[in-house]
Amino acid sequence: MVIMPSGQFKMGCAKGKGNCEAEDLDYWTVFLDSFYIEEHEVTNEQYCIFLNVMENQSEEGVNWYRGNHFDKDSLGMIRYDSLRECYKVDKGYEKHPVHAVTWNGATAYAKWAGKRLPTAAEWEYSARSAGDQYTTYAGSDNIDEVAWYFENSEMSTHPVKQKKSNAYGLYDMTGNVAEWCSDYASVSKFNRYDTLVNHQGPEDGFHRVCRGGSYNNKGIALKTFHKGYGHPNIVNGFRCALSTSSGGAIKLKGEQKVVGLEVTPPSMILLPTASFEMGCTQEQGSACDENTKPIRTVEINAFYLDQYEVTNLQFCQFLNEKGNQTEDGKLWLDTRNDQVRIVLKNGVFRPKIGYDDHPVVYVSWYGARAYAKWAGKRLPTEAEWEYAAREAGKGQYKYSGSNEVDAVAWYKDNSESSIHAVGKKAPNSLGLYDMSGNVGEWCSDWYQEDYYARSTNATDPKGPASGESKVIRGGAWLFAADRASVSSRGRGWPINSDSYTGFRCAKTAEK
């Protein structure tokens, strides 16, 4: 996703700010908080994964995806394979933008992905490169540079990111497929308003806004200011947005511009560079294991860490793309166990009903590593994990965020012998949930009993060079409270999988 800085711009067609039609010479000034927006439209491939997890549900009597809206011989569709009982994209069209989606279908996908649709104001602000480019089209006055439209598309969608982007690295904001926005449509003149802050459109209405024009459009429909709209049951494409306040990963300062920067979504938390005391520190009490001694000072460079443990729904997305592969003779996910909350049905991995947001378990260390790589991330080191659990070294608690274990952790005495949905206990001060309890978490390091005494590396230690078992941290729902402490160290064979070990991902911060 690309971050759009907070700022203001003139929304609509202001005289001298683009090639306006006479009837469109009205605009208003809009102030927007920073937000994220996807660099390209959602593709057939992405939407197909969503359909295979959530199925093609109906709202207001109309399916989310309406491939039957087009001629049955039309190419570039997602189709239901009755033999394999799953959805598949027409071969060669995986990277094309999805374009047979109702407004409800776009909204459902965005919610499933932990995002939302952009407002019309956010969409136009992004198309105009945060108000810096008042060009006729998104990124240029030359439409052929930036858009697939009636004159050059050969009446078909094209793969995303084939045309030139605008100044913020956003592709296909003009042409290819029209894009749903969250707003109800209004035919009101812009100049009915003076200034607006984070404008979200009318409170109700009949139609929804769609912007940018399509491969089969020409003329005004493709201009950046054009106020398109349609009944929510017609079909368009879309891209998703996300508020920077959703998880607090990155704070912008004033009018800071981060041109074309792809950033880690706010479901990850940025931890700063700092040093901390690792091991059996004073607040841990007298019950520390010998493997947490001696205390050592460790410096950690800045990195991101997932706010939550990886869930069954997230892991299903990975399995549906990569399959449940074998490493070192064991499956990434041991689906043979009855307690696994993921099922393989008709060739599609799905969470069992009611377990979408529970942390994935019965996943081997190899499976956790494979997921992290697929997601463009990695597993945290043991030192990074403890640094995060200790609130970037500032926490003075036995558990992650509190000395009261019941406030922050699911463990033996309160879990009722069960895993719980992520994020139901209080987070630590960094906004990280379930660092104590719920499920143990794989780390990248090999385990060594006396590693603290042997290690001489005080900066970003990555553990021993080899070993037989891998580090597991954080305790779990079936263990006593002491195992949930921020210093407690566990271990497991990398091929092992069980009902109490999951993981979360990390990512190195750019320097």
Report, as an integer, the average pLDDT of 89-98: 92
231: nearest Cα among 184, 199, 189 = 184
pLDDT in tens, 315-374: 998 999 899 999 999 999 998 888 899 998 878 898 998 898 999 999 999 999 999 999
For 167-178, how does the pLDDT look when each residue is reduced to its tens digit (9 = 90+)? Answer: 888 999 999 999
As a whole number of angstroms, the distance between CA 503 and CA 438 comes to 11
pLDDT at 21: 55
Give domain 2-42+97-244's CATH architecture. Alpha-Beta Complex (3.90)
Average pLDDT estimate for 71-94: 78
- The model's confidence at residue 259, banded by pLDDT at 50, 70 and 90, is very low
**Average pLDDT of span 33-37:** 89
Which pLDDT band holds residue 75 (cuts at 50, 70, 90)? low
Q: Terminus-to-terminus CA distance in the chain, angstroms?
A: 19
Contact between 137 and 170 under an 8 Å Cβ cutoff? The reply is no
Output the DSSP codes for 16-57.
Answer: TSS---GGG--EEEEEE--EEE-SSPPBHHHHHHHHHHH---
Say if CB 12 and CB 136 are below 8 A apart: no
Residue 124's φ and ψ, nearest 5 degrees, are: -70, -40
List, for residues 227-253, the tens digit of each pLDDT value. Answer: 889 999 999 999 999 987 533 333 322
Q: Which residues lie closer than 8 Å to 472 by C-beta, 6 or more apart? A: 440, 441, 442, 443, 490, 491, 492, 501
Q: Where would I find the beta strands (DSSP E) of 301-367? A: 303-306, 326-327, 330-331, 342-345, 348-351
Of the two residues 397 and 430, the one the predictor is more confident about is 397
Of residues 112 and 102, which shows the higher confidence score? 102
State mean pLDDT over 200-215. 91
Predicted local confidence at residue 195, as pLDDT: 56
Architecture of domain 268-508: Alpha-Beta Complex (3.90)
358 backbone dihedrals φ, ψ, rounded to 5°: -90, 150
At 221, the pLDDT band (50, 70, 90 cuts) reads confident
Counting runs of H as helices and runs of E as strands, what totals does the chain give? Answer: 9, 26
pLDDT higher than threshold 50 for residue 483: yes
Residue 173 C-alpha from the chain's centroid: 21
With tokens 């460790």, the residue in question is 298
Query: Three-state DSSP class for 182?
Result: strand
Distances 178 to 104, 348, 392, 404 between C-alpha atoms, Å: 15, 30, 44, 52
- The Cα–Cα gap between 43 and 494 comes to 35
Proportion of the chain above pLDDT 90, given as a percent? 61
pLDDT tens string 150-161 = 999 999 999 999
Q: Where in the chain is the domain with CATH 3.90.1580.10?
A: 2-42+97-244, 268-508
